[in-house]
Structure 1
């Protein structure tokens, strides 16, 4: 009995830690979809570029040597955000703006077809281009945090102990801080309010003097940066290669849909739920069936609440 309890607590803690990072990834994608209504298949590969950004900032640029491995890994992950923000702005100006905006919003299905093809092509270019530039050998940001853990215990007057990986724990704290910062930015700042207006009704926002194209560009840049930071944090404990984006993009979409399309808070909790289900499912299922458990829960929630946990059923004008 105590063994089962210890395994449950260990899986629960791992699910919370991993779910927090999944949540931050989902927030980045949710930001883009919520404001622009763009289904971005390239989000996972943009995260991959952010991971390599953090990796090279840590190693070649020397952040790891200057600040030390532990603090340097965190700073490298955070520094990848502004760099990928600029990449997101550039991609929007050159490519994404051609298939988004007020004109495309009125096309409904026809507009989304172009978005799907463009973002899928972007994903293929990034992943295969990454293979040419970075090679296929898995790499990671090696620190003492990833190979050490905090011990909680003994618990409940027994010899039960729970071990919390330090790299994942620090990553969870940063993920929560970034998600809260984004929430405050969206709801309290002038720019955030313009983003919400552009998301709710692009044409009306234009009549009110809001530059919808600029709002979309900022949303795409911020969404790219947020996911890149999440990727940089994952890189501190998870080996990655140029095709790693494919492993996470499905998780991102599942989390965004679970939380409710257009809801930043919902996207975070959708990612958290996926992390918990993924880890807790290992108590009763083989590791190979983790993703199966995720999508069983996904289908159940979508069946019972199609708008997602935090979404609302509305008819958009």
Structure 2
């Protein structure tokens, strides 16, 4: 009896493992149906999406804004600038596990970003820039571990509890600018060590700029924190952001001296620190920035050093 029972247990675990390992892929027909149903919820349907039709349902890979993979299932949806008016909650995420690129930028899409977006497990590029999304940024976005490009800028999004977010190791480009973010610096960002582009400008973020920004994010080439409410001194570890090309910290409440080590950012082309409360002398090390094209320090309580 014991031997029979063990055999059944082994067979059960093999079956269970097989079921868990099975990747259910939507068919082109069900994906086409899902896209048409979503389109039918738009209060304005652009003529450019006329190909999204039941009369053309077997021709999915030739639809406007759709790209298919070798299996004939949807890999990219690019609806940027199509003047769509609708909501994302009507999109059937379950049918699009094969999607790698999703671009809805510059439309009139409103409402929340649904938590079901986490079903897009193959997604690498997500652009929701310049819409009317509101509510908090859903923590499920951080489950999209293959995403390298994420743009949620120019919406009406608010800060969630960032401590519930996972690090996104593939993330290289992150834009959260021009939203309603408040509280302190988004903590999950500090562990996204492959970031080269970070824009948190035009929000209501407060507190000090975390030291880990300077010590963990050494691959950054573009860093923009303009028009927030960050305060405190600028870290002397700023020199560790040695790949920076553009640094924008304007219109905050930063104070104290500008660190002399800022002159070690040898690739810097643009430096904007205006409209803060920096004091002391302008660092002579700025003269070492041979690639610098734009320097804006106005207005400050800085003294000009004629030896600069």
Under TM normalisation by the shorter chain, which class is it?
under 0.3
Larger radius of gyration: 2
Q: Of Structure 1 and Structure 2, which has the larger fraction of its residues in strand?
A: 2
Normalising by structure 2, we get a TM-score of 0.21
Normalising by structure 1, we get a TM-score of 0.21
Q: Which has the higher contact order (CA 8 A, sep 6+)?
A: 1
